[in-house]
Amino acid sequence: MEKSDVKNYALMKKKPALSFWQIWNMSFGFLGIQFGFALQNANVSRIFETLGASIDNIPILWIAAPVTGLIVQPIIGHMSDRTWNRLGRRRPYFFTGAILASAALFLMPNSPVLWVAAGMLWIMDASINISMEPFRAFVGDMLPSHQRTMGFSMQSFFIGTGAIIASALPWVLTNWFNISNVAAEGEIPPSVKFAFYIGGMVFFLAVLWTVVSSKEYSPEEMEAFEAADEQNHQGNERESLHPVKDTRLFRNGLIWLLTGLTLFFLFDTFIYMDYGLGVFFGGIALFGLLQILTGLFTRQGKTQLGLVTIINDLYYMPGTMKQLAGVQFFSWFALFSMWIYTTAGVTSTKYDMALSRSMVMELVSEFERLSRLDESAQWKHTHEVGNDLGKYRKKLESGEEEVISTVRLAGYFTDPHKADLLMLSPETTARLLHIQQEYNRGADWVGVLMAVYNGFAAMMAFVIMLMARVITRKKVHFICLVVGGLSLISFYLIPDPRWLLVSELGIGLAWASILAMPYAILTGSLPQKKLGVYMGIFNFFIVIPQITAAAMLGFVVRTLFDQQAIYALVLGGVSMIVAAVLVLFVHDVDEGLNHETPVRVKLKA
């Protein structure tokens, strides 16, 4: 594009429209990003369980991912708003994140123990976030308002396409290429390892394609567009010129700090405390401290510091963004419930994981005998298996005739390293081996289910874009979230796991909309020069529900749902329907602009 053309478009108050293939290329990197996320979502709980995590502790281990996003995304957004080098404004972050995330994908399935796997999840999620956050701002940078729904829908298409392949990859490797999906106790199956290796390569190459094939507007061109865009955001710009008063920051910061500390004290002293709740309440207190620190910097006149800028932007975020916060909270709480508990919920209710009363009592006796051996101190998961058996005995004492076994317990009593010491009956041993096979069969099927909802989301990405032109983005999002919520609830009602494929279609519809509509609605309300940092702040309303889920779901499943993970999926469905209702109260600034006739130009290098 010639500079004179840019100035003309700026005077017309229109950013030039890009061609279909330009939008395709600038979104292609999301294929790799979602490859990484889908492998994480479909397999990390499986990795954690294999390495010995209990069902109620899995959400705590997952907390690394949202906490990382909460920290990384606004920082990366703030930095990318102020970056320009030979690769451009956003592309340096695409490339750096791709290198780091690809390396993490290779290392994750080789974690020898649980704490290493949790740490690798943290590193992997931070790396993926470095690439992902600028991709959202990239749409706002490059596309005019009437093309943004298409831009985010294109990202949804690649997210779905990447995820359908990645989610099903362990199943494909096992059933098509005969790569084993079973390993010794405490080891990750080869099918999962090879899936992560393939994911690392795909992640890097897909992002590299966007970096090489896409160009960004120069700072001079962006300045011309920003000058025109400021007229649509004068209120926000005027406010953001004046830093938040230090007294207001001190007051609010003290309220947040005292709230976090008080909740921590009350729960720890009178109710219940675990690591997840500690992180949750600690986060509330930390946000208070950050506001107080920002107040101190403001009083000293250090208003250009990154922390001060981000906190000020948070205070001055547009009204549409505030309204979308509730929608995002309940939508992502539902998704996080699904990602954490689908494997446990499906395998425990749709597959044959049951142990009879006589088998449980035999295992209790065998465990007591093994515990007296000197070697038992060296075995993995002895304490956890003892807790499992204690819970099973209580259920039998309450009148139940069978219990649902954990894969951890089955692996403990079939470990080949204990073969010379075990004295179980052939029937019980065969049953435990069957439970292991059933769990892995169910876990592989969950990968297929994840692939189906992502695949359907890819198919529906452009359909919901067309629907939005007819019935508005808000109504489309409302319909999709209601369907998705009912589909999650149906997991409890459907006995045959094959019919869950139908449920996944509804979840896929909701997923396609969640990935596109909130961002398309949001972008029109944001000042152009702050797209990166506001996209990062908007991620708070994805991360906070994830932290809430990680902090609370383990406690809820253990105390209210009697360790039955399937009810967490029902809770997620209800949450998604609440999000649908809140959509109706959101103000879409750009509503009606999707009907504009686009002006297309070619963007030259």
pLDDT tens column, 9-24? 444 456 788 888 999 9
**Res 507: pLDDT:** 95
Q: What is the pLDDT of residue 380?
A: 74
Which range, 48-52, 168-172, 185-189, 295-299, has the best average confidence (pLDDT)? 295-299
pLDDT at site 234: 43
Report the C-alpha gap between 349 and 563 in whole angstroms. Answer: 12
pLDDT above 60: residue 78 = yes
Place of tokens 């675990």: 274
| pLDDT surpassing 70 at residue 535 | yes
What pLDDT shows up at residue 602?
46
- CA–CA separation, 206 and 166 (whole Å): 14
Mean pLDDT on 102-118: 81
Instruction: Give the separation between CA 522 and CA 462, rounded to whole angstroms.
Output: 19
User: What pLDDT score was predicted for residue 363?
Assistant: 92
- What is the per-residue pLDDT for 510? 95
pLDDT of residue 225: 73
Nearest 5°: phi and psi at 274?
Answer: -140, -175
Q: Which amino acid is at 447?
A: G
Whether the per-residue pLDDT at 597 is higher than 80: the answer is: no
CA-to-CA distance for 404 and 415, rounded, in angstroms? 19
Q: Mean per-residue pLDDT for 39-56?
A: 70
What DSSP letter does each residue of 215-243 carry, written as one string? Answer: ----HHHHHHHHHHHGGGGHHHHHHHTSP
Q: Which amino acid is at 127?
A: S
Residue 86's Cβ-side half-sphere holds a number of Cα atoms within 13 Å equal to: 0
More confident residue, 78 or 4: 78
Q: Is the pLDDT of residue 108 over 90?
A: no
Looking at every residue in the chain, the average pLDDT score rounds to 83
Percentage of the chain modeled with pLDDT above 70: 88
Residue 341 has pLDDT above 80, yes or no: yes
* pLDDT at residue 236 tops 80: no
- Tell me the mean pLDDT in the region 266-293: 86
Radius of gyration of the chain (CA): 25
* Spatial separation of the C-alpha atoms in residues 413 and 363, rounded to whole Å: 8
Residues 573/89, Cβ–Cβ less than 8 Å: no
**416-444 residue pLDDT tens:** 878 788 888 999 999 999 998 888 889 88
Mean pLDDT of 243-266: 94
Six token digits for residue 211: 């970096």
- Segment 128-155 shows an average pLDDT of 83
Strands 402-404 and 354-356: antiparallel
Q: Look at residues 328, 239, 231, 236 and name the one whose alpha carbon lies nearest to residue 586.
A: 328
Judged against a pLDDT cut of 70, whether residue 57 lies above it is answered with no
> How would residue 513 be classed by pLDDT, with cut points 50, 70 and 90?
very high
pTM above 0.75, yes or no: yes
What is the number of H-type helices and E-type strands within the chain?
A: 24, 2
More confident residue, 285 or 8: 285
Of 101-110, 140-149, 296-305, 492-501, which gets the smallest average pLDDT?
140-149
Residue 451 is encoded by which pair of tokens? 């692939």
Task: Answer whether residue 228 shows pLDDT above 50.
Answer: yes
Q: What is the mean pLDDT of the segment spanning 327-353?
A: 91
What residues contact residue 552 under an 8 Å CB cut-off, 6+ apart? 276, 277, 280
Query: Does residue 47 have a pLDDT over 90?
Result: no
Window from 151-165, 175-189, 354-368, 588-602 with minimum mean pLDDT:
588-602
φ/ψ of 409, rounded to 5, equals -65, -45
Residue pair 347/442 in contact by the 8 Å Cβ criterion: yes
Overall fold of domain 3-230+316-349+435-595 = Growth Hormone; Chain: A; (1.20.1250)
Residue 547 in tokens:
């932290």
Where do the domains of the chain lie?
Answer: 3-230+316-349+435-595, 352-434
Structure tokens, 144:
């005019």
- Residue 165 confidence class, pLDDT cut points 50, 70, 90: confident
Q: How large is the average pLDDT for residues 72-80?
A: 82
Q: Please determine, for residue 448, whether its predicted confidence score (pLDDT) is greater than 90.
A: no
Strand partners, 403: 355
How crowded is the C-beta side of 166, counted as CA atoms within 13 Å? Answer: 31
